[in-house]
């Protein structure tokens, strides 16, 4: 009896590992199909087929294709989230800005198919606007503390909206055809157009 009980956690771990692997395959298949067909045309059953699982298995992991898509977008946004500058309390140094932009561009390169799907002109879910609003929200908090300290006379909310729109549009434009500009050129443009940026 004690031997059977001892085996149960391992069995659960095996089940958890298989479940996580299935979920990973579904997310990967969803990314590919959303990029190839757009969010509107891709179906849950096609995603399941691409992942090598039954359609019913898809629904054990996600209520619908939009939930899968939003999970992909949330993960990408989390990767792009600015990190505090450990060296400076304001987090607004040129070095911190460059690090944030380099990370954002790196995520855009790795998640190119996902970004292309988000900004697909045939997609009318309003997800692109929600992404822009999320980016603006995190920027506004940062600007509200940094602008007064640095004597920047810009409204933090308006500056955050302008910056988020610029970031989203430039990144979407660039990942559509990365030969348009080098990574360094994209980062440099975004650095120069940061609100209240000062040379350091």
Q: Angle 108-111-116 (CA atoms, 0-180°, nearest 5)?
A: 85
How far is it, in rounded angstroms, from Cα 172 to Cα 51?
Answer: 27
Among 200, 36, 171, 61, which Cα is nearest to 107's?
Answer: 171
**The pLDDT of residue 125:** 58
Question: Three-class SS of residue 199?
Answer: coil
Report the chain's C-alpha Rg in angstroms: 21
Residue 40, both tokens: 């509107």
The alpha helices in 81-126, defined as continuous H runs, are 94-110, 112-118
127-to-10, 31, 74, 115 alpha-carbon distances in Å = 40, 15, 11, 11
pTM for the whole structure: 0.69
Percent of the chain with pLDDT strictly greater than 90? 30
Residue 196, both tokens: 């209240």
> Is there a common fold for 2-62 and 71-192?
no
Q: Which band of pLDDT confidence, cut at 50, 70 and 90, is reported for residue 184?
A: very high
How far is it, in rounded angstroms, from Cα 144 to Cα 41?
Answer: 41
Average pLDDT, the chain: 81
Q: Which band of pLDDT confidence, cut at 50, 70 and 90, is reported for residue 54?
A: very high
CATH topology of domain 71-192: Tetracycline Repressor; domain 2 (1.10.357)
How far is it, in rounded angstroms, from Cα 171 to Cα 109?
Answer: 10
**The pLDDT of residue 197:** 61
Q: What are the domain boundaries of the chain?
A: 2-62, 71-192
Quick one: residue 155, left, alpha or beta (phi over 0 = left, psi -120 to 50 = alpha)? beta
Query: So what CATH class is 2-62?
Result: mainly alpha
**The pLDDT of residue 199:** 46
How far is it, in rounded angstroms, from Cα 61 to Cα 26?
Answer: 9
Which tens digits make up the pLDDT trace of 67-109? 998 888 888 777 777 665 444 444 557 788 888 889 888 888 8
């Amino acid at each position: 009896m004690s031997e059977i009980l001892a085996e149960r956690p391992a069995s659960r771990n095996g089940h958890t590992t298989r479940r996580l692997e299935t979920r990973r395959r579904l997310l990967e298949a969803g990314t590919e199909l959303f990029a190839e067909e757009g969010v509107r045309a891709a179906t849950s059953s096609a995603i399941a087929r691409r992942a090598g699982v039954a359609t019913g298995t898809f629904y054990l992991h996600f209520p619908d294709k939009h939930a899968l898509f939003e999970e992909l977008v949330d993960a990408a946004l989390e990767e792009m989230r600015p990190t505090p500058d450990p060296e400076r309390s304001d987090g607004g140094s040129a070095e911190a800005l460059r690090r944030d932009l380099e990370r954002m561009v790196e995520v855009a390169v790795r998640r190119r198919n996902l970004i292309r799907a988000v900004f697909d002109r045939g997609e009318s879910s309003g997800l692109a606007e929600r992404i822009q609003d999320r980016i603006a929200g995190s920027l506004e908090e940062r600007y509200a503390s940094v602008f007064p300290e640095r004597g920047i006379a810009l409204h933090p909310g308006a500056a955050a909206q302008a910056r988020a729109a610029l970031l989203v549009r430039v990144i979407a434009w660039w990942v559509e055809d990365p030969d348009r500009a080098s990574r360094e050129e994209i980062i440099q443009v975004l650095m120069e157009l940061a609100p209240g940026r000062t040379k350091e």
